[in-house]
Amino acid sequence: MTIYQFLLLFLLWVCLPHFCSPEIMFRRTPVPQQRILSSRVPRSDGKILHRQKRGWMWNQFFLLEEYTGSDYQYVGKLHSDQDKGDGSLKYILSGDGAGTLFIIDEKTGDIHATRRIDREEKAFYTLRAQAINRRTLRPVEPESEFVIKIHDINDNEPTFPEEIYTASVPEMSVVGTSVVQVTATDADDPSYGNSARVIYSILQGQPYFSVEPETGIIRTALPNMNRENREQYQVVIQAKDMGGQMGGLSGTTTVNITLTDVNDNPPRFPQNTIHLRVLESSPVGTAIGSVKATDADTGKNAEVEYRIIDGDGTDMFDIVTEKDTQEGIITVKKPLDFESRRLYTLKVEAENTHVDPRFYYLGPFKDTTIVKISIEDVDEPPVFSRSSYLFEVHEDIEVGTIIGTVMARDPDSISSPIRFSLDRHTDLDRIFNIHSGNGSLYTSKPLDRELSQWHNLTVIAAEINNPKETTRVAVFVRILDVNDNAPQFAVFYDTFVCENARPGQLIQTISAVDKDDPLGGQKFFFSLAAVNPNFTVQDNEDNTARILTRKNGFNRHEISTYLLPVVISDNDYPIQSSTGTLTIRVCACDSQGNMQSCSAEALLLPAGLSTGALIAILLCIIILLVIVVLFAALKRQRKKEPLILSKEDIRDNIVSYNDEGGGEEDTQAFDIGTLRNPAAIEEKKLRRDIIPETLFIPRRTPTAPDNTDVRDFINERLKEHDLDPTAPPYDSLATYAYEGNDSIAESLSSLESGTTEGDQNYDYLREWGPRFNKLAEMYGGGESDKDS
């Protein structure tokens, strides 16, 4: 018999009326009248309250969940000992689910459940029952509380909170190492039977892992699981209730387990010997190749440090570890020379930087390899015997003199002849030249230390067979001094002597300079070119000299200026000397020796203007200029005379002009033929206000075609001006030469009013709109004036 058949029979046995007839009898315990009250409580009105003992006898109701029958599920029966069976009592039910989930038969007290109940939603329901008199509606029994408890059935399978778990465990872990714990929950009642008792088992993942049945802890089941062989495992765990017995419900989950890496593999070079090649011209620091040891581990467990531990090239090469690629980069440590050595051997070691002591037994975590480096020959440029050259030469050597020689050679095994040349960018004046065959430098122009003491040249050495292979070297030429410049006065001296000077009076101290730079320093001697009766020179022996007077008094009217030649010489070899002439003026001085006048006749100089006076004059000029500018601006901005002279002088279409025209017959002033009515064209007439320069026969102008567009444009503008009562009169000024074929009002001019006979009626002006109101007032008031 299966578990489902067993449950079905059990439910039928529970629910059949003749098998399940729970009845709660509410009986009154017979108690003598005098013992009915356990206490007497006086009321405020003097009466005594009697407390009766309850006549209910209660038990809990039990109801199985998930009822599947077609009728309402019977819960139990309420009965009062005062129910005589005559239908006088009425049973009332209240509380959790009363009237909806639970209903009661008012006459019999039978309680039924109206629908299926899930214990996982609510485990028990608390209700209150009361029996009342149907006629008086008064309770015959006190209200009492009872509980309907839901009995659980195994209707929920165990569930895991996650469908897929992810876990990890280090590789090479011992058997029984905990990986992860999974826990399933069962919504059934754990206190009732084994419905919620869960047992764990492994469905997939053996023999690598196991699970504890009670706790759900997954542990390793095999020793020395190697990540390098297999890294990912998928384990399926089953959780089954009913203690894992037959018929229990179950749920499963998947656990993805990853073996994490540990450093259990040493680095290994794939080759015992590695061959590399490098050009002898490779500069220091050039990477010539790389070596790499493979490590099956990952991350920091695979980190390797490289070093050169032996070989004949330890001083010529170096190795550095590239962290990103875990390679050993071999670089040039010193310059290489194919002619000196063509092969180097290195012993390179690779070792793990993070070693796990637990795996020392697996062997040393390092490996070695042999690296052989072959040096390849290249066509090298010439090599100078020195890194730079310094030549010293006197500035007085003759042109073409050799000042030094540079030497270079071809370092290749097959030597090539060398050609020398000068870089002309370092010798723009072409003072030097070089022999292309032997490298001898010589002068091509005279030297002058005073112009340039140093010359920095660049010599180029190139192979004749391969001119592209060149080498440059710096050549410094120092020009040594030769005493070839005579000393001169240091500055220009403005010397004067007072008329009242006495013999031996100092009038000037002089000094000299020399462009030469002797090794012992400068030393100058001063003397007069010839004996002078008026002045003398006294050498101070410190490269200065004093000019002294030799006579008493000078007269500027007789001689106003003296010229004194002074000879200056140096002490180098050959001795150089020069003659400098001092110009000495005779001046009038005061008693203190201060110069007052040096000319033959005193000149009276006008008193100079002070700074304040100059500023005042300048300000006056600026003010005058501003006034002129303002006057010109005001004259340009003078306002024109307005068309309307006053507010009272309002005219319609009347413009005042200071320039009087030629009259009505003046038709020569403007050419308005395009605006004229073709029917009104007249012959040109001579102007009466001027004398014509030449007489000519008037000719008739050919008839112009009627321009409809112009006429329509004029009519539109006329209408706009007539219908605008708000615009000032001068804003609506318009001149029309085309008046139309005819005018109903005929002429409006007042010039011909004196020739008309009788009075005219101007009332029609009022009908023409607001523009003619003023004319209507002026001409329409004639009758009233006459009457008055």
Residue 354 corresponds to which tokens in the numbers above? 């993070």
Higher-confidence residue of 74 and 561: namely 561
pLDDT at 655: 54
Would the pLDDT of 371 be above 90? Answer: yes
At 252-283, the pLDDT tens digits run 999 999 999 998 889 999 999 999 999 988 99
- The pLDDT, as a whole number, for residue 240 is 92
The pLDDT assigned to 363 comes to 78
Every domain of the chain and the residues it spans:
60-151, 164-260, 273-376, 383-480, 488-597
Q: Tens digit of pLDDT for each residue in 162-178?
A: 999 999 999 999 999 99
What pLDDT does 668 receive?
54
Backbone angles phi, psi at 78, to 5 degrees: -105, 135
Whole-number pLDDT of residue 697: 44
| Closest-CA residue to 580 (of 511, 489, 484) | 489
Find the range with the poorest average confidence among 568-577, 721-730, 750-759, 770-779: 750-759
* Residues 658, 780 contacting (CB under 8 angstroms): no
pLDDT at 629 over 60: yes
Q: What is the mean pLDDT of residues 66-80?
A: 80
Higher pLDDT, 682 or 425: 425
pLDDT over 70 for what percent of the chain? 76
Residue 112 has what pLDDT? 87
Q: Is the peptide bond before 692 cis (omega within 30 degrees of 0)?
A: no
pLDDT of 757 over the 90 cut: no
Closest CA to 253 of 207, 196, 208, 198: 198
Q: In the predicted model, is pLDDT for residue 785 greater than 50?
A: no
Structure tokens at 751: 């010039």
Q: Which CATH architecture has domain 60-151?
A: Sandwich (2.60)
Q: Which among 134, 43, 54, 129 is positioned nearest to 88, based on CA atoms?
A: 134
User: For the sheet containing 232-240, what is the strand order?
Assistant: 164-170, 250-260, 232-240, 199-204
Residue 716 pLDDT: 85
Q: Report pLDDT digits (tens) over 373-394.
A: 999 988 888 999 999 999 999 9
Q: What is the DSSP string of 197-233?
A: --EEEEEESTTTEEE-TTT-EEEE-SSS--TTT--EE
Of 213-222, 224-233, 637-646, give the lowest mean pLDDT range.
Answer: 637-646
Pairing relationship of beta strands 124-133 and 89-95 according to DSSP bridges: antiparallel
pLDDT, tens only, 225-249: 999 899 999 999 999 988 888 878 8
More confident residue, 75 or 398: 398
Task: Kindly tell me if the per-residue pLDDT of 5 is higher than 50.
Answer: no
The pLDDT score that the predictor gives to residue 17 is 39
pLDDT at 187: 81
Residue bearing the bigger pLDDT, 348 or 756: 348
Lowest mean pLDDT among 218-232, 494-508, 755-769: 755-769
Q: What are phi and psi of 632, to 5 degrees?
A: -65, -40
More confident residue, 66 or 17: 66
Give the other-Cβ count within 10 Å of 83's Cβ. Answer: 20
Residue 666: per-residue pLDDT = 52
pLDDT band at residue 474 using 50, 70 and 90 as cut-offs: very high
pTM above 0.85, yes or no: no
**pLDDT attached to residue 639:** 54
Q: Can you name the CATH fold of 273-376?
A: Immunoglobulin-like (2.60.40)
The residue type found at 330 is I
CATH superfamily to which 383-480 belongs: Cadherins (2.60.40.60)
pLDDT at 4 over 50: no
**Highest mean pLDDT: which range of 34-38, 359-363, 676-680, 782-786:** 359-363
Lowest mean pLDDT among 195-204, 486-495, 504-513, 631-640: 631-640
Among the residue ranges 37-46, 115-124, 449-458, 498-507, the one predicted with the least confidence is: 37-46
Three-class secondary structure of residue 94 per DSSP: strand
Architecture of domain 164-260: Sandwich (2.60)
- Which of residues 649 and 16 earns the better pLDDT score? 649
Name the phi and psi angles at 315, rounded to 5. Answer: -90, -10
Task: From residue 465, give the alpha-carbon distance in Å to each of 385, 421, 451.
Answer: 20, 16, 40
Q: Which residue's structure tokens are 């009013």?
A: 753
Mean pLDDT value across the chain: 79
CB-based contacts of 385, cutoff 8 Å, min separation 6: 406, 407, 408, 409
In tens, the pLDDT along 322-367 reads 999 999 999 999 999 888 899 999 999 999 998 888 888 887 899 9
The tens digit of pLDDT for each residue in 57-71 reads: 455 777 777 777 778
pLDDT at position 14, please?
Answer: 42
Give tens-digit pLDDT for 90-142: 888 888 888 888 888 888 888 888 888 877 788 788 888 888 888 888 888 88
Looking from the CA of 583 toward its CB, the CA atoms found within 13 Å total 6
Q: What number is the average pLDDT over the span 28-33? A: 33
- The reply to whether 164-260 shares the fold of 60-151 is yes
CATH class belonging to 488-597? mainly beta
End-to-end CA gap in the chain: 146
Residue 469 class from Cβ within 10 Å (0-12 exposed, 13-18 middle, 19+ buried)?
A: middle
